[in-house]
Structure 1
Amino acid sequence: MVDPERLDEKSPHEPEEFDPESLGPETPETDAPGDGVAPEVPSAPEFDAEDLDPEVGALFWKLVLVFNASVFALAVGPMVAYFLGDVRRGGLIFAVGLAGFAYGVVRYYQFQRNRDEDAA
């Protein structure tokens, strides 16, 4: 059996405390970190909610919900068909996801086309 008091004793062959600075190349000392090393990062512009057109904001959030639901249906449909063996229901869920995705893409391109026509 091991004597617990001997576990606290240091072996004569054990090295002194490890110095991590002893590894690797020496790093040069600088006064300020990043002195001319990298370009200055620009700050983000100020934004007010009043700057956003309400119609654009409403369409954005509508399309976010449409695409989220579509991706969910596109993922769940095949899983229902495979894991539950209900190919009809899984295919229907998948088809709803495809239809929702197509609707979102069409609405997005309609918005872009209308915006470009308004700007011209």
Structure 2
Amino acid sequence: MSPFEEDDSDDYWPDEPKEFDPDSIGPKVDIPEAPSFDGDADDDVVQSFWAAVLLANFGLFAASLGLMLVVFQGRYELGGFVFALGALGLLFTYRRYRAFQGQSGDEEGQSESDGPDVADTPDATDDND
């Protein structure tokens, strides 16, 4: 008999099954179901998110392509133009993000980066004499 032929006798490997069952080894684990998402997000939030994603992707692609055109091929005019388009895309992404944060920001109308109010700062001309 050739080593490449199968032996049909049952006593060749008596301890091994005919076919391997992968579920027969390892621990039994119950995998929980993922919670379903209803998609009840506000349309303004969804629209702003996808606009920011697309603008950011365009901006990163164009800025990196422009830099590669300048560095690797020496095409300063085309590379500079494409880089400027990418920078504008990233700028519009940032402006859209900040405008959305201003819409849905805190009730006081002051974000964390605005700094303290004028009433909270001590008067610089006040001398405690």
Same fold (TM over 0.5): yes
Residue identity (%): 37
Counterpart of 2:37 in 1: which secondary structure? coil
| Cα deviation 1:46-103 (Å, max 9, x = unaligned) | 4211x11111111111110000000001110011112222101101111111111011
- Inter-partner Cα distance in structure 2 for 1:48 and 1:118: 28
Task: For structure 1, list consecutive stretches of 5 or more residues without a partner in the other structure.
Answer: 1-32, 34-42
Change (3 A) 1:118 1:57: farther
Change over 3 Å in CA distance of 1:45–1:118 after alignment to 2? farther
Q: Which residue of 2 aligns with 1:94?
A: 83
Say whether residues 1:47 and 2:8 are aligned partners.
Answer: no
Moved over 3 A (4+): 43-46, 117-120
Are 1:107 and 2:93 an aligned pair? no
Structure 2 counterpart of 1:82, from 71, 90, 93: 71
Distance in 2 separating the partners of 1:77 and 1:98: 10
- The Cα RMSD (Å) is 2.8
User: Which structure 2 segments of 5+ residues have no match?
Assistant: 1-26, 28-32, 110-129
Secondary structure of the 2:105 match is helix
The reply to whether residue 59 of structure 1 matches residue 42 of structure 2 is no
In the aligned structure 2, how far is the partner of 1:94 from the partner of 1:105? 16
Q: Structure 2 counterpart of 1:73, which letter?
A: A
- The match for 2:58 among 69, 76, 80 is 69
